[in-house]
Structure 1
Amino acid sequence: MRFFLRLIAFFVGIVLVVLLVNTFRLTSHQLANTPSAAAVIVPDSAVQRLVGAIQIPTVSYTDYTLTDTTQFDKFVTYIKASYPLIYQRLTHQTFNQYGMLYEWKGRNPALKPVLLMAHYDVVPVIQGTQKMWKRPPFAGIIEDGYIYGRGTLDNKMSVMSLLESVENLLKTNFQPERTLLLAFGQDEETSGKLGAQTIAAALKKRSVSLEYVLDEGGVIKPEGVSGINKPVALIGISEKGYLSLELTAIGKGGHSSMPPPQTSIGMVAEAVSKLEHNPFPARLNGGVDQLLDYLASEVSFGQRVVFANQWLFSPLIKQMLAKTKSGNATLRTTTAPTIFRAGAKDNVLPIDAVATVNFRLLPGDTVDGVIERVKKVIDNDSVTVSILGKGNNPVPLASTETPAFLTIHQTIKSIFPNVLVAPYVMLGATDSKYYSALTSSIYRFTPLALTDAETAGIHGTNERIRVKDYQNMVWFYMTLIRNSQK
């Protein structure tokens, strides 16, 4: 008995030693002593140009026939008038009339181009919510240090701040060593096929290979993440894939007074219930592990032990993260029933019943793999599973060891010295995925500090941006362009 107790004590001791060694071997991923970026004065006129852009309602609809393209014409005319140096000195090309690509030739053709992208279409204001806005959604009113309006957070402010950045650099006679590309889409909110997909295909046809792509995505979280009370700048290194499936069951119909043991509605409802009660397994290797690695050196000693030894504490980490909806979504491919169609009369059995279930795929999962698992979980040949539209696999994880990631990291620290920087996987989707054939280094970051409450303005009510934050965006992009020349 003593032998076994000693053996157990020996193994416990070995584990404790491994835990402590891993913990004390941790090195910080945070850059120290980053010089502050050269100050940039962003005039009030730049803010007014954003206001003017917000006042043009470039709303895109899934049904393109509903889209008022005259507003897109106005926007194109507006930026041509607003940024004369860009149109004088940069090569400009349009795609499907409203997608825009600008090329600023670098002096060294041996360096791969950098592509900075954004989109200027916006989502509609939800019918019936207009009166809930503090200021009209397309008035572009400035009040109490904020600019109100649709597009102030998603994503017209990025388009305008990028154009402001390049126009300002042109005024100083700055000449890049590395070619800079600006790509602005007109339909990101509906698919990105007319804009980003077409632009990316054109660049691929020219055999363009990119150093990196930077798109909208992660922001600075003032309240921190994972128990950290410091602001954290999240750089998206991937985004989830997308898939919607229809589950269909066909019954015989008939009068409700003589129902069969299970109707078509019952079969589909049971299938949906099985999917909800059998979620995809939680995994840390879909990007969460890298987020924890970057933050491990910044937490308390107890948390550091946990984060530094994911091999042992992964069940505990998963349990902690799964307590919130966002944390749970970072761990797994999610399952969300969104539409149910069946029946037309209360006393008539429907012949067919259809449920739509949306999945957001964690990196490492595939469309084919999700479909296979769904069929296995449902385990009912009477329920057919078919793809609605076209799904897409997750974008592969971009490396955090590239010069491009280091450049973005350095730029963030030079503008926002008090923030921590960490990689993460976006839960939503962008149109940057179309550029994955041109580079493996696609990153997603918007230089804005947004609380959870402020983030709700994206696609929501009272979308707004601080004037100071917009000016910082111009400062950030000017600095990033300068820093990307090596």
Structure 2
Amino acid sequence: MRLILRIIAALLVLLILVLLVNTFRLKSHQLTDVSPASPIEVPDSAIQHLAGAIRIPTVSYTDYALTDTTQFDKFLTYIRTTFPLVHQRLKHETFNQYGLLYEWKGSNPALKPILLMGHYDVVPVIQGTQRMWKRPPFDGLIEGGYLYGRGTLDDKMSVIGLLESAEYLLRTNFQPERTVFLAFGQDEETSGQRGAQTIAAALKQRNVTLEYVLDEGGIIKTDGVSGLKKSVALIGITEKGYLSLELTAIGKGGHSSMPPVQTSIGMVAEAVSKLERNPFPARLDGGVDRLLDYLASEVSFGQRIALTNRWLFGPLIKQQMAQTKSTNASIRTTTAPTIFRAGAKDNVLPIDATATVNFRLLPGDTVEGVIERVKDVIENDSIQVTVLGKGNNPSVVSDPESPSFLKIHQTIRSIFPEVIVAPYVMLGATDSKYYSALTSAIYRFSPVPLNDAETQGIHGTNERIRVKDYQNMIRFYVALIKNN
């Protein structure tokens, strides 16, 4: 018995030593030797330029026939007059009339170009919610240090901010060493096929390869993430895939006074319930592992032990991350029933019933794998499973240790020296996915500080941006272009 106890004690000591060695060997991923960016004075006209862009309601609709293209014509006229040097000195092209590509030739053709991108279309304001806005969504009003309006966060701030930065640098006769492409889509909110997909295809046809792509996406989250209360600049290194499935059951219909044991509605409802009760398993890979690597050196010692020894504490970390919607979504493929269609009258049994279920795929999962698992979970051959539209697999995970990532990291720290920088998994989708054939280094980051409540303005009510934050965005883009 004593021998067994001694063995157990020795193993326990060994375990503790392994945990401590792993913890103390941890090195910070944060760049510390970063000089502040050269200060630039952003004129008051810059925020007015963004306000003018907000006043042009470039709303895109899934049904393209509903899109008011005259507003897109106005936007193109507006940026031509607002940023004259950009349009005089940079080569610029349009794709499908409204997709925009600018080429700023670098002095060293041996260097691969970079591509900085955004989109200027916006989502509609939900009918009936206009009265909930503090300021009208398309009036571009500045009040209390904020500019209000649809597109201030998603994503005219990036488009106008990049044009403003380029115009500033052209006024100083700056020429980048590396060629810079600026690409702006007109339909990101509906698919990106007319804009980004077409632009990317044209560049591929021209045999262009890119050093890296930077699109919208991550933010500077001021209320921290995963137990870290400091501001964290989140750079998306991948984005989840997208798939919507329709689950359809066919019944016999008839009068509601004589229902069968299970109706078509009952069959579909049961299938949806099974999917909700059996979520996809949580995983600490697919990009979230790189986030944890970066955060490990910045958290308390107890948390550091757990994050550096995920081989042991993985189940506990998953359990903790599953407590909030955003972190739970970052560790699994999510399942979200969104539409249910059946019946037309309260006393008539519907013949068919259909539910739409949306999945956001974590890197490592595939469209085919999700469909197979859905059928296995439902266990009902009477339910037809159909792909709605076109699903897409998750993007490739870009390297957070690459020179390109480090360049973005360095630029962030030069403008926002107090923030922690970390890679993360984008839960939504961006136009950047169309550029995967041109580079393996695709990053998603918007240099805007927001807390969790403020992010609700994206696609929501009272979308707004602080004037000082927009000024810092311009400083960031200027510094990034100079750093390349």
TM-score by length of 2: 0.99
Q: What CA distance in whole angstroms lies between the structure 1 residues aligned with 2:12 and 2:483?
A: 49
Letter in 1 for 2:440: S
Matched, 1:203 2:206: no
Q: State the Cα distance separating 1:427 from its structure 2 match.
A: 0.6
Q: State the Cα distance separating 1:143 from its structure 2 match.
A: 0.5
Q: What CA distance in whole angstroms lies between the structure 2 residues aligned with 1:154 and 1:112?
A: 28
After superposition, residues 180-191 of structure 1 pair within 5 angstroms as: 180-191=180-191
Q: What CA distance in whole angstroms lies between the structure 2 residues aligned with 1:251 and 1:11?
A: 62
Match of 1:344 in 2: 344
Match of 1:100 in 2: 100
Give the match's secondary structure for 2:297. helix
After superposition, residues 459-474 of structure 1 pair within 5 angstroms as: 459-474=459-474
Match of 2:323 in 1: 323
Matched, 1:425 2:428: no
Match of 2:376 in 1: 376
Q: What CA distance in whole angstroms lies between the structure 2 residues aligned with 1:459 and 1:121?
A: 12
Q: What CA distance in whole angstroms lies between the structure 2 residues aligned with 1:338 and 1:155?
A: 25
Q: What CA distance in whole angstroms lies between the structure 1 residues aligned with 2:120 and 2:28?
A: 38
Match of 1:46 in 2: 46
Q: State the Cα distance separating 1:324 from its structure 2 match.
A: 0.6
Q: What CA distance in whole angstroms lies between the structure 1 residues aligned with 2:419 and 2:233?
A: 6
Runs of 4+ in 1 over 2 A off after TM superposition: none
Q: What CA distance in whole angstroms lies between the structure 1 residues aligned with 2:248 and 2:2?
A: 63
Q: State the Cα distance separating 1:259 from its structure 2 match.
A: 1.5
Letter in 2 for 1:303: Q
Deviations 1:84-140 (CA, angstroms, capped at 9, x unpaired): 111111110000000000001111111111000000001111100111111111111
Give the match's secondary structure for 1:444. strand
Give the match's secondary structure for 2:330. helix
Letter in 1 for 2:25: R
After superposition, residues 261-272 of structure 1 pair within 5 angstroms as: 261-272=261-272
Q: State the Cα distance separating 1:401 from its structure 2 match.
A: 1.4
After superposition, residues 237-316 of structure 1 pair within 5 angstroms as: 237-316=237-316
Match of 2:399 in 1: 399
Match of 1:25 in 2: 25
Match of 1:478 in 2: 478
Q: What CA distance in whole angstroms lies between the structure 2 residues aligned with 1:254 and 1:51?
A: 58
> Percent of aligned pairs with the same residue?
77
Match of 1:444 in 2: 444
Match of 1:128 in 2: 128
Deviations 1:391-431 (CA, angstroms, capped at 9, x unpaired): 00000110011110000000000000000000000111111
Match of 1:144 in 2: 144
Q: What CA distance in whole angstroms lies between the structure 1 residues aligned with 2:339 and 2:11?
A: 53
Q: What CA distance in whole angstroms lies between the structure 1 residues aligned with 2:255 and 2:3?
A: 74
Q: What CA distance in whole angstroms lies between the structure 2 residues aligned with 1:157 and 1:346?
A: 49
Q: State the Cα distance separating 1:444 from its structure 2 match.
A: 0.3
Q: What CA distance in whole angstroms lies between the structure 1 residues aligned with 2:111 and 2:478?
A: 19
- Structure 2 spans left out of the alignment, 5+ residues: none
Q: What CA distance in whole angstroms lies between the structure 1 residues aligned with 2:312 and 2:370?
A: 28
Deviations 1:152-174 (CA, angstroms, capped at 9, x unpaired): 00000110010011111111111
Letter in 2 for 1:400: P
Match of 2:213 in 1: 213
- CA-based RMSD of the aligned residues comes to 0.7
Q: What CA distance in whole angstroms lies between the structure 2 residues aligned with 1:57 and 1:222?
A: 30
Q: What CA distance in whole angstroms lies between the structure 1 residues aligned with 2:260 and 2:55?
A: 58
Q: State the Cα distance separating 1:47 from its structure 2 match.
A: 1.4
After superposition, residues 43-192 of structure 1 pair within 5 angstroms as: 43-192=43-192
Q: State the Cα distance separating 1:33 from its structure 2 match.
A: 2.8
Q: What CA distance in whole angstroms lies between the structure 2 residues aligned with 1:47 and 1:326?
A: 31
Matched, 1:409 2:409: yes
Letter in 1 for 2:247: L
Letter in 1 for 2:233: A
